[in-house]
Chains A and B, each alone.
Chain A
Amino acid sequence: AQSVTQLDSQVPVFEEAPVELRCNYSSSVSVYLFWYVQYPNQGLQLLLKYLSGSTLVKGINGFEAEFNKSQTSFHLRKPSVHISDTAEYFCAVSDLPGTASKLTFGTGTRLQVTL
Chain B
Amino acid sequence: DTEVTQTPKHLVMGMTNKKSLKCEQHMGHRAMYWYKQKAKKPPELMFVYSYEKLSINESVPSRFSPECPNSSLLNLHLHALQPEDSALYLCASSHSLYGYTFGSGTRLTVV
Contact = CB atoms under 8 A, between A and B. Distances in A.
Interface residues of B, number: 30
| B contacts with A: majority SS | strand
A46 B49 contact: no
Contacts, number: 74
B96 A98 contact: yes
Contact of A46 (B43, B100, B104): B100
B97 A101 contact: no
A105 B92 CA distance: 14
Interface stretch (A20-28, A34-42, A79-87): A34-42
Interface of A: 32, 34, 36, 41-46, 49, 51, 90, 92, 94, 96-108
Contacts of A51: 96-97, 99
Contact of A106 (B42, B96, B102): B42
Residues of A contacting B: mostly? loop
B82 interface: no
B50 interface: yes
A55 B67 CA distance: 38
Contacts of A42: 104-105
Contacts of B104: 42-43
